[in-house]
């Protein structure tokens, strides 16, 4: 199985020059699908997530822990947070790879939240092993 990364068109001119990528496998990009649904059903949250992506790409960090933080107990995963929307990701050199999107329903839906984190963790591990084997392809289009 090969992994492909699709580079998002966010500014990389800043001092940070961090690039954001969508994780993909078999021609599927789960975060892209999630974001498309979000854009149609929750425009406020979608716009907030895009602003966070832009800030991260241009500045290389987001200091506010309510907007971006490490996922406790699941290194190297981090998450973008906009209201109840979560986008899980991890860093690889100057790349930030987006691997999973989820909507946190409530603290009562811990199983669903754990499943999203588990998928994100699996995709991160798969990426790292495929990268080691030289089977990661970067794309500007998909």
Structural domains in the chain (count):
1
Q: CATH number, domain at 54? A: 3.30.2310.20
| For residues 96-124, average pLDDT | 86
The two tokens of residue 23 are: 């994780």
Residue 13 has what pLDDT? 55
In a domain, 142, yes or no: no
Which residue would you say has higher pLDDT here, 95 or 15?
95
CA 94 to chain centre: 14
Q: How many CA atoms lie within 13 A of 62 on its CB side?
A: 21
Residue 140 has pLDDT above 80, yes or no: no
CA distance 50 to 13: 17
Residue pointed to by tokens 């984190």: 117
The helix/strand/coil state of 113 is: helix
Prediction pTM value: 0.91
pLDDT digits (tens, 9 = 90+) for 55-94: 998 888 899 999 999 999 899 999 999 999 999 999 998 8
Residue pointed to by tokens 């490490």: 70
In a domain, 76, yes or no: yes
The helix/strand/coil state of 39 is: helix
């Amino acid at each position: 199985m090969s992994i492909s990364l699709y580079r998002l068109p966010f500014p990389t001119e800043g001092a940070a020059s961090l690039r954001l990528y969508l994780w993909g496998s078999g021609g599927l990009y789960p975060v892209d699908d999630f974001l498309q649904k979000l854009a149609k059903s929750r425009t406020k949250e979608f716009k907030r997530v895009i602003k966070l992506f832009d800030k991260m790409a241009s500045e290389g960090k987001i200091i506010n822990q309510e907007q971006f933080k490490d996922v406790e107990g699941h290194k190297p995963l981090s998450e973008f947070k906009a209201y109840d929307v979560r986008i899980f990701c991890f860093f690889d050199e100057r790349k930030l790879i987006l691997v999973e999107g989820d909507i946190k329903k409530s603290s009562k839906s811990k199983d669903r939240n754990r499943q999203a984190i588990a998928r994100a963790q699996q995709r991160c591990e798969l990426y790292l092993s495929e990268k080691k084997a030289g089977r990661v392809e970067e794309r500007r289009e998909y």
